[in-house]
Amino acid sequence: MLKISKWNILFVLSVCLTAIYYILPNLYGKSEVTALPKFFSQKQVNLGLDLQGGSHLLLEVDTKSVLKEKSEDLVDDVRRALRKSKIKYSNLGSKITGAVVTITNSEKIDQAKKNIQENIEKGVSIDVSKNKLSLFFTEQYIIDSRVRTVEQSIEVVRKRVDESGTKEPSIQRQGDERIVVQLPGIKNPERVKALIGRTAKLNFHMLDPTTVELAEQRGKLPPGTFKALNADPTAYEKQFVVKKRVLLTGERLKNAAATVDAQTGRYVVAFEFDNKGAKKFSKITTDNTYQRLAILLDNKVISAPQIREPITGGQGNISGNFSPETANDLAVLLRAGSLPAPIKVLEERTVGPSLGIDSIEAGKKALMIGFILVIVFMILRYKAFGVVADFAIIFNVILLIAMLSAIEATLTMPGIAGIVLTIGMAVDANVLVFERIKEEIRSGRSIFNSIDLGYKFAIKTILDANFTTLIAALLLYNYGSGPIKGFAVTLSIGIVTSMFTALVLTKLIITFWVLKLKPKRLFI
């Protein structure tokens, strides 16, 4: 039976009020909302990167390279342990995740194993077969190492992004070894990308007095050295012969900043070591006075100054061929520290601010016009009932935006398309009811009964039909990314709210109308 219960009215009213509560903050700017009293909702719909402009980057951390490095360290450890205990060995080498060695005297194998075990880190297990030892990292060790590498990388990336002055960046881990970086409103993504992608491993070596030309004449490099390129390809010295031993690393840096050198007037990066680093640096510069230091960034020489006097204060300058920007970028990189493993950009999506603004404008226009077209059409087709349905459509959009605000959803361009589409599709529930009412009236029932039956019959169909669309929307949400997710969100919320407006709201209005005015004919 058609009737109006107090609960029904209360329910509809509370939904309306909640909707208004959540929709209000969207009328204000972000800063204004935070200034409002606590009583008000602070939640707003976020604009996606495609609407406000910005960059989305998907990065991959090459965690395998860390294991490779560790395998090489392991080889060193094994060599040291065996030499110390004077056990003869051969065929020492690294594998992808571990090392192998053959012990010459197979009787000493157990002793060798014991000595090695004492000299290496935990998390390495050793297999013995005849006179061969196989060392490999345990599964747990590999997982831990991967987790740590990715976490450290996220930390470093975050520091670098923060230092670059990007507002409200989002940096999140995705899957095992991926990082998603979102940079809203960014003006120069190329610079930030260059900052993020650099490994920025800073190493201090000594330069070998042998020049590259001399080494080439001799046909070989002096033992314990390697050839390194100059980071500035336009410089006079293209290559250097650098001693392999790393004397000091960037990890010991306390601070770095771009400044102008008072004497030369050129841009330099001033750095400062921590206590331990300062002591080491003091020793290096004392032992090697008048020799040339080699400062390597990612295995390229950025500066090779001569040590004129021992530097005991732990401070120094790197003078390369810097512009203000490159000096500043290097300072940022040194402050943020180096990445534990190389990072690769797998995916980038950048939207410029002008396209974002255009998209919002286009979205608004399409929304308004779609709205008007559907509203007019509904009135033409269903007359008075059309007005009721139109009321439902308007309320549907209000509810949709309120829900989006309440869950602080991100609105994207496909999301706006989803709202427009919802306007067209959301009338479906009302149409189903209205058509059914018409049918019942045609079959000779009273107005009252027709409306009652119309709702009763249509409700099952509406639930069935909308459920399947929801399945599609939910799968899209699950599998979609970024903008597409935004579409799935607006579509699914639109479906749910349209069921509410059609089955509860318009039913209440129509029932009220029929009960109060008792019309003789239905204008439908």
Partner 1 sequence: MNFNINFFKYRFTAFVFSIVLIGFSAFLFLNKSLNLGIDFKGGIMVEAKFPDVPDLTVLRNKIDNLQIGNSEIQEFGDPSTILFRLEKIDKDNITQEEIIEKLKSELDEDTDYRRVEFVGPKVGKELKLVAIKAVLFSLIAMFIYIWFRFSGWQFGLGALIALFHDVLSTIGFFSLTQIEFNLASIAAILTIAGYSINDTVVVFDRIRENLVKSEKQLEELLNLSINQTLSRTLMTSITTLLALAALFIFGGEVVKGFVSAMIWGVLIGTYSSIFIASPLILLFGFKQIRDKS
Burial string for 453-490 (b: 16+ CB within 10 Å, else e) reads bbbebbbeebeeebeeeeeebeebbeebebbbbbbbbb
- Is residue 420 a contact point for partner 1 (CB under 8 A)? yes
- Is residue 193 a contact point for partner 1 (CB under 8 A)? yes
Instruction: Pick from 134, 321, 328, 461 the residue near partner 1 by CB under 8 A.
Output: 461
- Is residue 520 a contact point for partner 1 (CB under 8 A)? no
Residue type, 80: R
* SS3 call for 278: helix
Rg (CA), the chain: 35
Distances (CA, A) of 91 to 31, 83, 367, 372: 67, 14, 72, 80
Selected range binding partner 1 among 114-122, 185-193, 205-213, 292-300, rule: CB under 8 A = 185-193
Instruction: Pick from 217, 468, 516, 518 the residue near partner 1 by CB under 8 A.
Output: 468
In the complex, what is the shortest distance from the CB of residue 284 to partner 1, in angstroms, rounded to a whole number?
35
Chain-centroid distance of CA 368 in Å reads: 34
- Is residue 401 a contact point for partner 1 (CB under 8 A)? no
Query: How would DSSP label each residue in 158-192?
Result: HHHHHHTT-SS-EEEEETTTEEEEEEET-S-HHHH
Q: Cβ closer to partner 1: 184 or 314?
A: 184
Q: Cβ closer to partner 1: 70 or 485?
A: 485
Helical spans, DSSP H, in 351-446:
353-406, 413-442
Q: Cβ closer to partner 1: 2 or 367?
A: 367
For partner 1, the binding residues in 212-271 under the rule CB under 8 A are none
- Is residue 475 a contact point for partner 1 (CB under 8 A)? yes
In the complex, what is the shortest distance from the CB of residue 488 to partner 1, in angstroms, rounded to a whole number?
7
Selected range binding partner 1 among 143-151, 226-234, 293-301, 423-431, rule: CB under 8 A = 423-431
For partner 1, the binding residues in 29-88 under the rule CB under 8 A are 50, 58
Residue type, 17: L
x/- map, 317-356, partner 1, by CB under 8 A: ---------------------------xxxxxxxxx-xx-
Selected range binding partner 1 among 10-18, 113-121, 326-334, 377-385, rule: CB under 8 A = 377-385
- Is residue 478 a contact point for partner 1 (CB under 8 A)? yes
In the complex, what is the shortest distance from the CB of residue 164 to partner 1, in angstroms, rounded to a whole number?
16
Which secondary-structure segment (H or E) carries 73? Answer: helix 63-84
Could you tell me if residue 408 is left (phi over 0), alpha (psi between -120 and 50 degrees) or otherwise beta?
Answer: left
Chain-centroid distance of CA 266 in Å reads: 37
Nearest-angstrom CA–CA distance, 295 and 306: 11
Instruction: Pick from 471, 512, 515, 523 the residue near partner 1 by CB under 8 A.
Output: 471
Q: Cβ closer to partner 1: 95 or 349?
A: 349
Nearest-angstrom CA–CA distance, 448 and 516: 12
Nearest-angstrom CA–CA distance, 143 and 213: 46
Nearest to 268 by CA among 258, 276, 277, 278: 258
Instruction: Pick from 480, 496, 509, 514 the residue near partner 1 by CB under 8 A.
Output: 480
Instruction: Pick from 13, 246, 472, 515 the residue near partner 1 by CB under 8 A.
Output: 472
In the complex, what is the shortest distance from the CB of residue 239 to partner 1, in angstroms, rounded to a whole number?
18
Q: Cβ closer to partner 1: 25 or 418?
A: 418
Distances (CA, A) of 392 to 283, 498, 510: 80, 8, 12
In the complex, what is the shortest distance from the CB of residue 517 to partner 1, in angstroms, rounded to a whole number?
26
Please, which residues bridge with residue 269 across strands? 258, 318
Cβ-based burial of 258 (10 A; exposed 0-12, middle 13-18, buried ≥19) = buried
In the complex, what is the shortest distance from the CB of residue 99 to partner 1, in angstroms, rounded to a whole number?
28
- Is residue 483 a contact point for partner 1 (CB under 8 A)? yes
- Is residue 432 a contact point for partner 1 (CB under 8 A)? yes
Residue with tokens 């509809």: 12
Q: Cβ closer to partner 1: 143 or 475?
A: 475
- Is residue 314 a contact point for partner 1 (CB under 8 A)? no
- Is residue 198 a contact point for partner 1 (CB under 8 A)? no
Selected range binding partner 1 among 9-17, 216-224, 259-267, 421-429, rule: CB under 8 A = 421-429
In the complex, what is the shortest distance from the CB of residue 350 to partner 1, in angstroms, rounded to a whole number?
4
Selected range binding partner 1 among 81-89, 92-100, 299-307, 411-419, rule: CB under 8 A = 411-419
In the complex, what is the shortest distance from the CB of residue 167 to partner 1, in angstroms, rounded to a whole number?
20
Distances (CA, A) of 129 to 101, 102, 109, 369: 11, 10, 9, 78
- Is residue 189 a contact point for partner 1 (CB under 8 A)? yes
- Is residue 428 a contact point for partner 1 (CB under 8 A)? yes
Q: Cβ closer to partner 1: 235 or 345?
A: 345
Query: How would DSSP label each residue in 309-360?
Result: S---SSEEEEEEEE-HHHHHHHHHHHHH---SS-EEEEEEEEE-HHHHHHHH
- Is residue 423 a contact point for partner 1 (CB under 8 A)? yes
DSSP-derived pairing of the beta strands 54-61 and 178-184:
antiparallel
Residue with tokens 């009273």: 446
In the complex, what is the shortest distance from the CB of residue 324 to partner 1, in angstroms, rounded to a whole number?
20
In the complex, what is the shortest distance from the CB of residue 387 to partner 1, in angstroms, rounded to a whole number?
15
Residue type, 411: L
Selected range binding partner 1 among 134-142, 144-152, 239-247, 454-462, rule: CB under 8 A = 454-462
First to last CA, the chain: 21
233: number of Cβ within 10 Å:
8
Instruction: Pick from 387, 469, 496, 513 the residue near partner 1 by CB under 8 A.
Output: 469
